[in-house]
Structure 1
Amino acid sequence: MRDLKPILKTIKVRLMGPALLALQIAVTFTILVNAFFMIEQKEAMISKPSGVDEANIFRVLSNQPFPKEEYEARLDETIEAIRSIPGVQAVSMLNTLPLAGFGTYDELTRTPEGRRETWTATFMGSTDAYQTLGLELVAGQGFTKQDEITVAFEAQSHPSDVLVTRALAEKLYPDNWEEALGKTIYLTMIPHQIKGILAEMNGPWGTWFAAKISVLKPVRDANEVLPLAVRAEPGEIDVVMERVKEYLLKTPRRQITYLDKFVDIKAKNYQRESAALNTLWIVLLGLTFVTALGIFGQSRFAIMKRRKQIGVRRALGASQWHVLRYFLTENAIVTSIGILFGCVFAIVLNQYTVSHFEFNLIPAGYFVFGAAFCLVLGQVGVLVPALQASRLSPAIATRTV
């Protein structure tokens, strides 16, 4: 290209301005690529499936204001009464819900005193709890009523069979996760046999490193606390929640600690991630605006200093398009240099976050996107000053000192 040699000569002579612009582009590219990758990761975390029928599930946590010896009978009575409420599709006792923010976890080993394979979130509930939540059984069998254990007040007992998530099965048997069926695992040194495998069941903590590794036990706690998971008919969740509340409060001294939809529970669990996501978007928008403004100001200043040069070129026959092309090309070259340095900075920053914060490596596609974005941003930023320069009259420009 004819303009390339004079552009490189101009950059060499006026090095400070292009160098500052290239540095700004490099910093913008570095932040842009890493921030967009973090945004994608957080959006994937927030939107990932929990495994449950999210739109129709709600939880209710209340007390049992009865003598201890009546807990089990009253538990069955309450569940049957709620099941008969119009609009209730299913109800089960369950110690906590996925993404609820609280629950229990166990150390998982293959032998009583073996090496820890992983940590697992542990759910305990009625035998039909996985069906109430709408979980998908992808291998093996579900629980039967004979599998269920009801634990009396302050007593301890452990079932023999459990359901596990596919993520846990893949952790134990990465080559063929279905091999986990029938195998014995030890949860805090207590043996359990894997009876079935669930497609998904998020743990109580969304950002936990083992968020997808869960175990469901057929255990009901007959005590003063009554945690229930209820599944409403589609579109009737608000009405059903009110009906369940009315029924429970008919019992004297009954108190309701929680009564909330799963969608609200999930939103609360990811509240920090949502706030961080919004902050990242604000930073990106602000950075884009500041960079575009910087390119505009830098380009306008450089063009104003070269009015006489522009006028000479116009007098020698350069068209408006030639002048416009010159400054657009100059900006593209400086921006490309900034992008090259930005790639190096972005890789170094990503390697640091991978080694210190367990982030993932940024795919190459993000670098391509970042480069295209910065090139377009540079062209947009220089366009107005370049258009103004191309419209300079040769006579006016040559009289400008």
Structure 2
Amino acid sequence: MQIKPILAALRRHRLATLLIAMEIALACAVLCNACFLVARRWTMIQINSGVDESSLAVLTVNGFDPNQAADVNARMLTGLRSIPGVQSATLISEVPFGPQTGAAGVTHEPGDFKNLIGVVDFVLAGPGTFKALGLKLVEGRLPQPDDYRPATSFLPDDAQVLVTRQWAEHAWPGENPLGKDFWCDKMHFRVMGVVDHYARAQPSQYDLQQGEWTVFTPVVPGGSLAGTYLLRARPQDVQRVLQAARAAVPKIAPDVVLDQDNSKTLGDLRMNYFKTDRIMIGLLLGVVVLMLGVTALGIVGLTSFWVAQRRKQIGIRRAIGATRGDILRYFQTENFLIVTFGIALGMLLAFVLNAVLMKFYELPHLPLYYLPVGALVLWGLGQLAVLGPALRAAAVPPVVATRSV
């Protein structure tokens, strides 16, 4: 296939060629960035919470005086544990996909905030909570009775804690985290164990690599650990147990207020938390499909127009020996050149669009592997779109074609 005649024909139709190439460039930029955003959001939606979500619910009450925390906890735990189907009722400060209550920066040395390790979620938990959550311990040991310390202000001081594998690998890369020390201002913590996974309360607020930066902190109930109760039941019973618990709150503790919005099963909390992300994924996929559809229609329309204009030339070529395959390859090659030019512009435009998103939405760089994937999609789309008009051109008999016009 001679390329020069094709380029000469395209130069005679500069405006139409440029318009289609720009349309393909815009489609390439949108396709790459939209797919990148969809992949990030989908990965976050699929985050491993590390807990037995199907068996857990959380019930939150407020409106009581902090001085009454111990009394409220005692009444609530006694009442909740008496509900039929409740396997355990324990205290916790926050759960995955619920309200965030205790994020703070930590360092390797006390008060050394110039060398911040990162911001982690401190999850305060009473006795029995680790087992109720269904966390998987991969290193170290579980909390013992003497590990539960009273909280001074919000966090206990000099506490033995469990950390997630993800955060341990960030804080002490290539090292054994067991026995390692870290500080939150002047409060000291030492790692006694590592759990496989444990998602933060609000993972979407952080980068994907920070979604499990969680420190599980054993705390004596009372003070800052009050009002949020973790309920465990069989998966088939958890919804009924939660409804019974919500109904029982006015009888158990008439002096508290039930937090209706945050008293849900963990499955419902996850569903509600990622609702916006699922809507955004649908919108982005819709934009991609619409953009690709418009691009394909543009290619079909332009090629059909050119076929109609070139019927005489096609007939002459057929009459002097060109086969249907030659005609078909001509239009496919022509389309390939236009799409390739559009893709080259689109790759530059994709990085510009990504730079804008990075500036205003704090997204990371667009990975380079999205560019060849986008190029393959557009090359394939271009060849499919041009196939119909090209086949019609190749099917025109030489005599009919030469007599037209």
TM-score by length of 2: 0.87
In the alignment, the residues of structure 2 paired with residue 225 and residue 207 of structure 1 have an alpha-carbon distance, to the nearest angstrom, of 26
Where does residue 296 of structure 2 map in the other structure? 292
Pick from 346, 349, 354 the counterpart of residue 350 of structure 2: 346
**Pair 1:49–1:155, CA change in 2 (3 A):** closer
Where does residue 232 of structure 1 map in the other structure? 233
In the alignment, the residues of structure 2 paired with residue 358 and residue 68 of structure 1 have an alpha-carbon distance, to the nearest angstrom, of 42
Instruction: Give the counterpart letter for 2:258 in structure 1.
Output: I
**Pair 1:284–1:83, CA change in 2 (3 A):** same
Q: Is the 8 A contact 2:79 2:252 kept in 1?
A: no
**Pair 1:195–1:127, CA change in 2 (3 A):** farther
RMSD: 2.8
Q: Is the 8 A contact 2:91 2:225 kept in 1?
A: no
CA-to-aligned-CA distance 1:178-222 (integer Å, 9 cap, x gap): 2x3223221232122222222222222122334321222222225
Which segment is superposed worse, 16-25 or 301-310? Answer: 16-25
Say if 2:266 is the partner of 1:267.
no
Pick from 380, 389, 396 the counterpart of residue 376 of structure 1: 380
**Pair 1:173–1:271, CA change in 2 (3 A):** same
Instruction: Give the counterpart letter for 1:230 in structure 2.
Output: L
Q: Is the 8 A contact 1:311 1:396 kept in 2?
A: yes
Where does residue 201 of structure 1 map in the other structure? 198
In the alignment, the residues of structure 2 paired with residue 159 and residue 400 of structure 1 have an alpha-carbon distance, to the nearest angstrom, of 92
Pick from 281, 300, 307 the counterpart of residue 303 of structure 1: 307
Where does residue 82 of structure 1 map in the other structure? 80
Where does residue 125 of structure 2 map in the other structure? 125
In the alignment, the residues of structure 2 paired with residue 246 and residue 58 of structure 1 have an alpha-carbon distance, to the nearest angstrom, of 14
Aligned length: 396
Shift of 1:58: 1.0
Q: Is the 8 A contact 1:64 1:224 kept in 2?
A: no
In the alignment, the residues of structure 2 paired with residue 386 and residue 155 of structure 1 have an alpha-carbon distance, to the nearest angstrom, of 72
Q: Is the 8 A contact 1:57 1:232 kept in 2?
A: yes
Shift of 1:150: 5.2
In the alignment, the residues of structure 1 paired with residue 398 and residue 154 of structure 2 have an alpha-carbon distance, to the nearest angstrom, of 96
Where does residue 138 of structure 2 map in the other structure? 138
Instruction: Give the counterpart letter for 2:243 in structure 1.
Output: E
In the alignment, the residues of structure 2 paired with residue 151 and residue 341 of structure 1 have an alpha-carbon distance, to the nearest angstrom, of 59
Shift of 1:56: 1.9
Structure 2, unaligned runs of 5 or more: none
Instruction: Give the counterpart letter for 2:192 in structure 1.
Output: K
Pick from 387, 393, 403 the counterpart of residue 399 of structure 1: 403
Shift of 1:353: 4.5
In the alignment, the residues of structure 1 paired with residue 34 and residue 348 of structure 2 have an alpha-carbon distance, to the nearest angstrom, of 16
Q: Is the 8 A contact 1:165 1:214 kept in 2?
A: yes
Shift of 1:346: 2.5
Where does residue 181 of structure 1 map in the other structure? 178
Where does residue 93 of structure 2 map in the other structure? 95
CA-to-aligned-CA distance 1:244-287 (integer Å, 9 cap, x gap): 23443433625422321112212322333223222211110110
Alignment of 1:25-174 (within 5 A): 25-63=24-62, 71-72=69-70, 75-115=73-113, 116-149=116-149, 158=157, 160-174=159-173
Shift of 1:289: 1.1
Where does residue 189 of structure 2 map in the other structure? 192
Q: Is the 8 A contact 1:148 1:159 kept in 2?
A: no
Q: Among all aligned residue pairs of Structure 1 and Structure 2, give the percentage whose two residues are the same amino acid.
A: 29
Q: Is the 8 A contact 2:75 2:252 kept in 1?
A: no
Instruction: Give the counterpart letter for 1:169 in structure 2.
Output: A
In the alignment, the residues of structure 2 paired with residue 90 and residue 280 of structure 1 have an alpha-carbon distance, to the nearest angstrom, of 42
Where 1:82 maps in the other structure, the secondary structure is helix
In the alignment, the residues of structure 2 paired with residue 188 and residue 212 of structure 1 have an alpha-carbon distance, to the nearest angstrom, of 21
**Pair 1:112–1:58, CA change in 2 (3 A):** same
Instruction: Give the counterpart letter for 1:91 in structure 2.
Output: A
Where 1:207 maps in the other structure, the secondary structure is helix
In the alignment, the residues of structure 2 paired with residue 182 and residue 36 of structure 1 have an alpha-carbon distance, to the nearest angstrom, of 42
Where 1:98 maps in the other structure, the secondary structure is coil
**Pair 1:297–1:346, CA change in 2 (3 A):** same
Q: Is the 8 A contact 1:182 1:193 kept in 2?
A: yes
In the alignment, the residues of structure 2 paired with residue 65 and residue 114 of structure 1 have an alpha-carbon distance, to the nearest angstrom, of 37
Say if 2:335 is the partner of 1:331.
yes
Shift of 1:351: 5.1
Instruction: Give the counterpart letter for 1:30 in structure 2.
Output: A
Instruction: Give the counterpart letter for 1:56 in structure 2.
Output: S
Q: Is the 8 A contact 2:107 2:118 kept in 1?
A: yes
Where 2:227 maps in the other structure, the secondary structure is strand
Q: Is the 8 A contact 2:347 2:371 kept in 1?
A: yes
In the alignment, the residues of structure 2 paired with residue 223 and residue 321 of structure 1 have an alpha-carbon distance, to the nearest angstrom, of 78
Shift of 1:356: 6.4
Shift of 1:399: 2.6
In the alignment, the residues of structure 1 paired with residue 154 and residue 367 of structure 2 have an alpha-carbon distance, to the nearest angstrom, of 52
In the alignment, the residues of structure 2 paired with residue 224 and residue 145 of structure 1 have an alpha-carbon distance, to the nearest angstrom, of 16
In the alignment, the residues of structure 2 paired with residue 335 and residue 193 of structure 1 have an alpha-carbon distance, to the nearest angstrom, of 59
**Pair 1:7–1:192, CA change in 2 (3 A):** same
Where 2:87 maps in the other structure, the secondary structure is strand
TM-score by length of 1: 0.88
Instruction: Give the counterpart letter for 2:275 in structure 1.
Output: Q
In the alignment, the residues of structure 2 paired with residue 261 and residue 40 of structure 1 have an alpha-carbon distance, to the nearest angstrom, of 27
